[in-house]
């Protein structure tokens, strides 16, 4: 459903804006919102997450109808998750439209607060409407650099080390910036003069770029889209992915309360985002929603097996489909072969392989697309290392999270241990796969991006507002607050070698090895349970017990 909102010239400005943004606009942000919105005419799209998503005809519709965005209709948001959750067939296009919409609302809200609390000087010469439009375009374009199968493609070609690719195309964000430069620079710079949006292209690139912007106001705008604790990107994909996978119980987030209770703050010219201390409960719920989505949806054990199979298929199809070569061509200034890399194109090629031939690629594509049986099958229960196991466990979680070489060494040791257990049963070392997954409260791109200390990235700044004054309350070190930081260990063997009797053996061996290797113990837990047992059997407990 798409329709014009303000074709009727008799609509007043207030009626038009109320139609676009509903009753959520507060008195404090009406001035910023109305001035920006009055520059354009608006259209709406029905959306299951926000009811309606809005975009302007003059700028956003032209970019939406460009190949850079339209190709995202043919790239699914969750790569192979639809093989586990049949409803997960939503696309990167839907997510991008949603992030544009939500980031725009967040920008209007934040800029209104900045003007109210600090005045126009805090904008550093940038116009509010330029900043809002840049944030909305950044939300729309933040995933423009994805190729077929999204993150699985990145893992296969950009992160695995199997192909040597230029640094400037080392991830989808870098590629996205190059695509914007190649395809949209002229169009966006024309918008600057036509609609009085000075520096629009410059601000957009600073928000999307790899380097942290120097200007405090641009840093804040960037955080609304990405690289912060609860940006529009994460808020949208958690809500959208939980909806389409049918796991709403994991993805519920009080997103409006989060961003409406976030305040701008400047500490020695250093910009911060302060969360109102009364919203601490909603923030914790958000962190647990994120952890649950990663554990149960994104890192679903069968989904992980499908992704591993898919990556091998992509490696085998590389030469025929020109996959890594298309990435190199982007670095050389030719984006068009890369623009063709969509799920739709690859599925057409893969289904042809699945129906014909008897080689390795034919076998794997049949397993993926027809039989829906990945080559790897999980054996035994997963082992979850969480902060509940005490401070020693937390130390090792952080070591695995931050030290890639230690993580790989641990993976190798566990694989050798499992091989020792199963070798007499005809299981070779190459028949075993050890999957080690980290769940973090902050995007791992923030941890590994190399700008700033990891400690500051794991800090939530809290404050309180009274009138036009914002006061910083305290720094919350998320690790100390017992947030859901954990590592998941899983063991897989090749499907044809799986036996039911291995389940308990592998579960027991994995737990004993990790506890021994990391110096963990169940002794404290057993002591607590012993004390509780004594209390539960006492007369005092009987007196206090309440039955429903």
- Predicted confidence (pLDDT) per residue in 336-372, tens digit: 999 999 999 999 999 999 999 889 999 999 999 999 9
State the residue range of the domain holding 54.
2-302
Same domain, 159 and 72: yes
CA distance 217 to 127: 11
Count of domains observed in the chain = 2
Same domain, 277 and 388: no
**170 and 255 share one domain:** yes
For the segment 452-495, what is each residue's pLDDT rounded down to a tens digit? Answer: 444 456 789 999 998 889 999 989 888 778 788 899 999 999 99
Name the least confident of 41-50, 158-167, 188-197: 158-167
Of the CA atoms within 13 Å of residue 451, those in its CB half-sphere come to: 12
Q: Are residues 66 and 196 in the same domain?
A: yes
CATH number of the structural domain spanning residue 259:
1.10.3210.10
Using CA atoms, how far residue 351 sits from 303, 322, 354, 439, in Å, is: 19, 18, 5, 34
Q: Is 3 exposed, middle or buried (0-12, 13-18, 19+ CB in 10 A)?
A: exposed
DSSP state letter for 460: E
Give the CA distances from residue 137 to residues 104, 144, 150, 202, 319, in Å, rounded to whole numbers and listed in that order: 9, 11, 20, 12, 35
Most trustworthy range by pLDDT among 12-16, 385-389, 462-466, 544-548? 462-466
> Is residue 314 domain-resident?
no
Cβ neighbourhood burial of 280 (10 Å; 0-12, 13-18, 19+): middle
Q: Examine the fold and report which residue of 302, 335, 353 is the final residue of a domain before the chain moves on.
A: 302
Mean pLDDT within 165-175: 94
Helix/strand/coil for 276: strand
81 plus 226 within the same structural domain: yes
The candidate with the shortest Cα–Cα distance to 389, out of 297, 531, 501, 519, is 519
Query: What is the reported pLDDT for 547?
Result: 52
Q: What is the pLDDT of residue 102?
A: 98
Residue 341 lies in a domain: no
Q: How much is the pLDDT for 385? A: 93
pLDDT at 10 over 60: no
> Is residue 332 a part of any domain in this protein?
no
Any domain includes 320 = no
> Residue 485: what pLDDT?
86
- 533 part of a folded domain: yes
Q: Which residues contact 440 (CB under 8 A, 6 or more apart)?
A: 401, 447, 485
% of the chain beyond a pLDDT of 70: 87
Please give the average per-residue pLDDT across 440-460, as a whole number: 58
**C-beta of residue 247 within 8 angstroms of C-beta of residue 88:** no
Give the highest mean pLDDT range of 154-163, 317-326, 398-407: 317-326
Residue 387 lies in a domain: yes
Secondary structure of 31-73 as H, E, C letters: HHHHHHHCCCCEEEEEECCCEEEEEECCCHHHHHCCHHHHHHH
Residue 345: inside a domain = no
Query: Could you tell me if 379 and 297 lie in one domain?
Result: no
Same domain, 287 and 426: no
Q: d(Cα 519, Cα 510) in Å, to the nearest integer?
A: 14
**209 & 297 share domain:** yes
Q: Do 96 and 55 meet the contact criterion of CB atoms below 8 Å apart?
A: no
Based on the fold, state whether residues 387 and 269 are members of the same structural domain.
no
Location of structure tokens 């039989």: 371
* Domain presence at residue 187: yes
Backbone angles phi, psi at 463, to 5 degrees: -155, -170
What is residue 20's predicted lDDT score, i.e. its pLDDT? 38
Last residue of a domain, one of 269, 302, 335: 302
Mean pLDDT throughout 156-161?
83
Q: Are 286 and 387 members of one domain? A: no
Instruction: Please report, for residues 310, 338, 349, 368, 391, the alpha-carbon distance to residue 352 in angstroms, rounded to integers and kept in the order given.
Output: 15, 21, 5, 13, 53
């Amino acid at each position: 459903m798409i329709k014009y909102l303000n074709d009727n010239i008799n609509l007043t400005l207030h009626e038009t804006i109320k139609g676009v943004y509903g009753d959520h606009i507060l008195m404090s942000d009406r001035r910023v919102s109305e001035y920006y919105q009055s520059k354009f005419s608006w259209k709406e799209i029905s959306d299951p997450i926000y009811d309606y998503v809005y975009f302007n005809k003059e700028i956003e519709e032209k970019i939406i109808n460009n190949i850079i965005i339209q190709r995202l209709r043919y790239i699914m948001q969750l790569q192979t998750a639809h093989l586990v959750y049949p409803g997960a067939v939503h696309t990167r296009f839907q997510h991008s439209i949603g992030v544009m919409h939500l980031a725009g609302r967040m920008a209007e809200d934040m800029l209104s607060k900045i003007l109210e609390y600090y005045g126009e000087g805090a904008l550093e010469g940038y116009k509010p409407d330029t900043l809002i439009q840049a944030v909305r375009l950044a939300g729309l374009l933040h995933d423009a650099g994805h190729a077929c199968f999204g993150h699985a493609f990145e893992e296969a070609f950009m992160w695995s080390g199997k192909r040597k690719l230029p640094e400037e195309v080392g991830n989808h964000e870098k590629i996205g910036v190059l695509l914007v430069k190649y395809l949209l620079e002229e169009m966006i710079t024309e918008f600057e003069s036509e609609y009085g949006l000075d520096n629009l292209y410059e601000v957009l690139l600073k928000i999307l770029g790899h380097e942290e912007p120097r200007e405090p106001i641009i840093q804040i705008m960037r955080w609304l889209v990405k690289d912060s604790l609860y940006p529009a990107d994460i808020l949208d994909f958690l809500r959208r992915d939980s909806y389409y996978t049918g796991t709403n119980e994991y993805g519920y987030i009080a997103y409006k309360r989060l961003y409406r209770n976030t305040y701008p703050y400047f500490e020695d010219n250093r910009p911060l985002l302060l969360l109102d201390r009364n919203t601490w409960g909603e923030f914790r719920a958000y962190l647990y929603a994120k952890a649950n989505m990663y554990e149960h949806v994104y890192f679903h054990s069968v989904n992980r097996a499908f992704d591993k199979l898919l990556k091998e298929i992509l490696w085998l199809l590389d030469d025929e489909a020109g996959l890594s070569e298309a990435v190199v061509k982007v670095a050389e200034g030719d984006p068009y072969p890369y623009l063709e890399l969509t799920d739709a194109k690859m599925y057409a090629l893969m289904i042809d392989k699945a129906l014909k031939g008897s080689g390795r690629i034919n076998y794997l594509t049949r397993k993926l697309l027809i039989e829906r049986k990945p080559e790897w099958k999980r054996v035994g229960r997963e082992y979850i290392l969480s902060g509940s196991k005490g401070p020693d466990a937390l130390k090792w979680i952080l070591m695995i999270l931050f030290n890639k070489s230690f993580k790989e060494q641990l993976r190798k040791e566990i694989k050798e241990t499992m091989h020792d257990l199963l070798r007499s049963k005809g299981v070779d070392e190459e028949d075993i796969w050890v999957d080690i997954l980290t769940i973090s409260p902050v995007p791992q791109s923030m941890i590994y991006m190399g700008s700033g200390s990891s400690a500051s990235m794991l800090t939530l700044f809290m404050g309180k507002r009274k009138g036009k004054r914002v006061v910083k309350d305290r720094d919350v070190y998320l690790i100390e607050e017992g947030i859901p930081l954990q590592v998941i260990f899983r063991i897989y063997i090749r499907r044809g070698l799986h036996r039911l009797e291995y389940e308990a053996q592998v579960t027991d061996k994995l737990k004993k090895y990790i506890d021994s290797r990391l110096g963990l113990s169940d002794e404290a837990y057993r002591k607590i349970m012993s004390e509780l047992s004594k209390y539960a059997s006492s007369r005092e407990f009987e007196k206090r017990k309440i039955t429903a």
